[in-house]
Structure 1
């Protein structure tokens, strides 16, 4: 299932020390890096298709497939470092500072990037990330959504993707057959990516932790967006981030699951555009 990009949106590849990175680019102006989540079939385009054209009216938008996803190279299980990859993308494209907009895993990468490379990030926008610390209100261990996500890596069939897209969204209208088929096709076309993710499960996760003291040191203005009905990552994680980051605001959206940028695309696009333009 080839993706037909709209006019003004182009696909490129760039060679980095992390391997070949495929990315979508559109627009001009201040750079905005869109980082996708960890689900099977996730890519820069599939995660942000309702947002890229709108944001590109005001900014230079770059949406990469991170190592182990989409058309980018696969990283060896347990060694991928998306913070380093993001830095390499900026360097390779000659970008000094960019706004980071990250969903779920991409939100964690963006937050960690803000703690390690503060001079290279102008704004921090997250949607549904973990705060890197155990939650108080979610279940012990994996959430319902993460269990379904991991199962879809082992079986990227249409039926598995139907469950995945269903758990990611609050409104069933957004769990379209087109999106389900797209995610299944992308995931099934790269068995190396699927195995890479499976091999990394249960490994040492300490490198993924976010220390509260480091989060509290983030100086970039932050917009934290979370769905109240998120069944993948409970909204308490964004509450925790909001309590730690001094220059932050929190947007908690009712009737919204894990993909705020999809289910509430209009509000998301306006909020992010205004936030980056005026902060």
Structure 2
């Protein structure tokens, strides 16, 4: 998706299509390209899709947290003159979407959460980041998926490079700790927006019980399962993911 990226001022993002706006929020170790099948499909089928590159490693360390990433999203929407958007987030991206919705509910018409943090997530463990140990990082990357082959060498190399960069490793830990601090359980019942939950049945990072808790706490939610699928459904099962999302969008009539 590098060919689709544009940089304007402080924002780097991909954009395509026309129609109701869907803002895609990637995860902590997630690249924009993880959403390529979703970006391509919906930008050709009646939606404006935007994927901002979140400043995970460019904010000052003290400001590297969920709160300031949500603030960045607010600034991006103001810059793009967008209101009444659908937020689609995976993992940390879902958490940012929820935190943003708590403070700016009038700007959000709908939520799509897949493998979202915000209630509970099984982190990389106390040993993360285990710098220098490629085999450890490779195994952790594979554990994210039902099919370990989805964790390509390129993907593993990117994660390995991140955790072996001292400042990036510190910022990764800072974000992970802020995600634990900003538990959204008490806020979810107040979020009335239509919400589509798309979850891998074999998600080992945010397990199925997490999806059930989201469904129970969010008053206007629909829970959808994808079998033989881990933490990143839009990567591992893109056709099923797009079908579920497309049906929900059509039924909800944004």
Please indicate, yes or no, whether the TM-score normalized by the shorter chain is above 0.5.
yes
* Range class of TM-score, shorter chain: 0.7 to 0.9
**Residues 74, 193 of structure 1: 8 Å contact kept:** no
Q: Which runs of 5+ in 1 are unaligned?
A: 135-141
The structure-2 alpha-carbon separation of the partners of 1:79 and 1:180, relative to structure 1 and needing over 3 Å to count, comes to closer
TM-score by length of 1: 0.78
CA distance in 2: counterparts of 1:82 and 1:188, whole angstroms: 20
CA distance in 1: counterparts of 2:202 and 2:213, whole angstroms: 17
The structure-2 alpha-carbon separation of the partners of 1:195 and 1:130, relative to structure 1 and needing over 3 Å to count, comes to closer
Deviation at 1:165, TM superposition (A): 2.4
CA distance in 2: counterparts of 1:221 and 1:204, whole angstroms: 23
Counterpart in the other structure of 1:34: 24
Counterpart in the other structure of 2:147: 171
CA distance in 1: counterparts of 2:102 and 2:43, whole angstroms: 27
Give the alignment of 1:62-141 within 5 angstroms.
62-69=50-57, 73-80=58-65, 81-132=68-119
How big is the alpha-carbon RMSD for the aligned residues of Structure 1 and Structure 2? 2.7
Give the alignment of 1:42-61 within 5 angstroms.
42-45=30-33, 47-58=34-45, 59-61=47-49
Deviation at 1:226, TM superposition (A): 1.5
Deviation at 1:166, TM superposition (A): 0.4
CA distance in 2: counterparts of 1:22 and 1:105, whole angstroms: 18
**Residues 131, 237 of structure 1: 8 Å contact kept:** no
The structure-2 alpha-carbon separation of the partners of 1:21 and 1:184, relative to structure 1 and needing over 3 Å to count, comes to farther
Q: Does 1:25 align with 2:22?
A: no
**Residues 24, 64 of structure 1: 8 Å contact kept:** yes
Give SS of 1:28's match. Answer: coil
Give SS of 1:77's match. Answer: helix
Q: Does 1:266 align with 2:239?
A: yes
Deviation at 1:189, TM superposition (A): 9.6
CA distance in 1: counterparts of 2:183 and 2:169, whole angstroms: 23
Larger helix proportion of the pair: 2
